Amino acid sequence: MIKNKEEFNQALNLVYFFLKFRPRTKKEIIAYLQKKSRRFHFDETTIDAVVKELENDKLINDEKFIEWFIEERSRTKQKSSFVLKSELLRLGVEKTLIDAYFNLHPQNEEELAVKALFSRWHRFQNLPRDEKFQKAVQFLMRRGFDFGVAKKAIDEVEKK
- Mean pLDDT per block of 10 residues along the chain (160 residues) reads 75 94 95 93 91 94 95 88 94 95 92 91 89 94 94 89
* Entry pTM: 0.83
| Amino acid 1: pLDDT | 35
Query: Does residue 72 sit in the same domain as residue 36?
Result: no
Using only C-alpha atoms, the chain has a radius of gyration, in whole angstroms, of 21
Q: Which residues contact 152 (CB under 8 A, 6 or more apart)?
A: 110, 113
Cα(136)–Cα(133) distance, rounded to whole angstroms? Answer: 5
Query: Does residue 76 sit in the same domain as residue 41?
Result: no
- Whether the CB-CB separation of 113 and 150 falls below 8 Å is answered with yes
Query: Does residue 92 sit in the same domain as residue 66?
Result: yes
| Amino acid 3: pLDDT | 54
Domain count of the chain?
Answer: 3
Query: Does residue 114 sit in the same domain as residue 98?
Result: no
Domain that holds residue 115: 109-159
Query: Does residue 9 sit in the same domain as residue 50?
Result: yes
Query: Does residue 75 sit in the same domain as residue 97?
Result: yes
DSSP state of 124: H
Domain-terminating residue out of 23, 40, 56 = 56
